[in-house]
Each structure stands twice: as C-alpha cells, then as structure tokens.
Structure 1
Amino acid sequence: MIKKTLKTEIEIYDGLNELSKQHQDLMQQALEVRDHAYAPYSKFKVGAAILLDNGKVVTGSNQENASYPSGLCAERTAIYWAGANYPDAKIVSIAICASSIQQDNQEPIPPCGACRQAIAEYEQKQNTPISIFFMGIKGKVVKVNALADILPLAFDNKYLNF
C-alpha cells in the first residue's frame, strides 16, 4: 500500500475590496448576472463571470426547468457560451456568486461537481490553469489558483486514451 497526502491551497479575502480591481469588476458582473437566474424550483440563484485571455467577459446564470435536473448551472452556461463564441480564447478567471432567494448567504459557495468537471475539461483543453473566485451574496471571497485545488483527482481525457 502507498499512502499519499493531497494538499490544496486557497486564499480567503474578507470582501470584494481586497481583490484586484480586475477581479472586483469580474465578481461584480457575477453578482449582477445572478439576478437573471431562473430558479423557481431550487430558489437558489447563481451568477458566473468569465474573463477570457482576449479581454472579453462572458457571463451566465443558472437556468432551471420543471424537468429536473436538465437545467444548467451558471458556470457551465458561461463556459459553454465562451467555448462556442470564442473557441480560440483561453479562460483566465471565473467569478461565482451564489445564494438562496430566501436568505442572504454570506458563506462562499464553490462550484458543484458537474461544474468542476467542466472547468477541468477547459483547463485540460487550454493547458493552463483557471483561477476561480467564489462567494455568497456578500462577505468573504475564496480564490483558488486552479481547479485542482478543489478537485485534486479530476477525471480527464488520459483515462479515455487506451
């Protein structure tokens, strides 16, 4: 048997004002697009803003429907839109804001497993890490430098090339 220790590193900011101007703006766009979420079933709204290496910002919000779980999360909405419209651009950063409609969650909320897998795919595709910033509706912001910091054993294409 071999025993391995996996390490992760996160940065925790007390609020948006501690982020760089660029990342404050990105998170502000995530906060704003969160209002466009369609979440009548979960009552949980999420906004995502993606900074591309060409300087463009792409946003997305979660979109639900009565045929659970065929809706789509904010992160994947934005990622897939970026991939379809800017196929040669690399994703530099993602800002995510999430909270229940019923209460203002101040705890930073990371991307779900499906979104982590989508981010992992794009990191592999572009061969560069994507920094991820996430928060609740207000309060602390968490930053990770790459998806591996929150999904250290990601499934990737190396398992498909037999």
Structure 2
Amino acid sequence: MTDPAQLIAAARAAAAHAHAPYSRFAVGAALLMEDGSIVTGANFENASYGLSLCAETVAIASASAAGRLRQIVAIGVIGGAMDAEGIPTGTTPVSPCGRCRQVINEAAQMGGRDLPVHCGAAEGDAIRSYRLSELLPDAFGPADLGIG
C-alpha cells in the first residue's frame, strides 16, 4: 500500500493543472491502482457550470477509459483556493463532494472494495483518512442492481 502522503503529493501535482476560472478553487485527485501506478485528475470547469467536472470524476473516468475501473485500491484528494498565479493554497483538508462520493462508490463496488479515501490540503501535512463507507454510509450502487 502506498503511503497516503504519496497520493496527496500526486493529487497536488494534478491540481496544478486544474481549469477553475470560475470558482478559483483547484482540486486534484490521485487513484492508486492494483499495480502501484497512479492515475490523476484535476477539476475542469465550464462556463455552463453544470457541465463542470470534479477531479475525482476525471481521474475515475480516465481509469475506466483505460479498462482499469476495477483496479482502484485507494484515492487521494486535495483542494484549495487559487492565488493570483493560479496555485492552490490552504491548509484545511478537503473531502470529495457528495456527487464524487457516489462516483467513487461506483468504482469501489465494481472492484469489490471499501476504498480508503485520503483527504489533504493544498499545503501542509494534514491528512484525514476515511473508508468510503464512512463518507457515504448505506450507499446505493451496482450491487443494489445486481451488478458488480
């Protein structure tokens, strides 16, 4: 298992590529795969706000597009307000939004795992770690439809 700090570092690197001109809040996500590799994503906002994509969704969609949806074993997420240069800042760990918790749950159930979710900040060493089942108790997902 990769150290949560390594996932947070990868998520921070991904957040540097966030396209967040409207919220000015950059988010990065990093997925640890079964083979030890890491897949990342950053939020991508759109002028039509409802079409924006969260970092976790981008990373999970990338893993799925590569045929690796069932191989995710852990996730790291960071976020922070962007400074004038577009660099995420802040020392308070952020956790996935409700929509992302549901998207993470889809991948977790498809892989038969209760994923660890490591939440960090744009700066500093603070990390809060949870099991997905703590962040989304009694989740509805593929198993409820007899899939998975």
TM-score category of the 2 structures, normalised to the smaller one: 0.7 to 0.9
**1:45 aligns with one of 17, 26, 31:** 26
Distance in 2 (CA, whole Å) between partners of 1:23 and 1:158 is: 28
**1:106 aligns with one of 66, 69, 91:** 91
Compared CA separation, residues 72 and 106, structure 1 to 2 (3 A)? same
**1:126 aligns with one of 111, 116, 119:** 111
Answer whether contact 1:53 1:89 (CA < 8 A) is retained.
no
- Matches of residues 81-160 of structure 1 in structure 2 within 5 Å? 81-87=62-68, 89-102=70-83, 104-139=89-124, 140-144=126-130, 146-160=131-145
Instruction: Identify which range, 117-126 or 152-161, moves more after superposition.
Output: 152-161
Alignment-mate amino acid for residue 96 of structure 2 = P
Unaligned runs of 5+ residues in structure 2 are none
**1:71 aligns with one of 29, 52, 55:** 52
TM-score normalised by length of structure 1: 0.79
User: Could you report, residue by residue, the CA deviation over 1:65-100 in whole angstroms, capped at 9, with x for unpaired residues?
Assistant: 101110100001001101110336511111111001
Distance in 2 (CA, whole Å) between partners of 1:82 and 1:151 is: 21
1:56 is aligned to 2:56? no
**1:32 aligns with one of 13, 27, 35:** 13
Q: Which has the higher contact order (CA 8 A, sep 6+)?
A: 1
Compared CA separation, residues 89 and 157, structure 1 to 2 (3 A)? closer
Identity of counterpart residues, as a percentage?
Answer: 37
Alignment-mate amino acid for residue 36 of structure 2 = G
Moved over 6 A (4+): none
The alpha-carbon deviation at position 24 of structure 1 amounts to 2.1
Superposed CA RMSD? 1.9
Answer whether contact 2:109 2:143 (CA < 8 A) is retained.
no
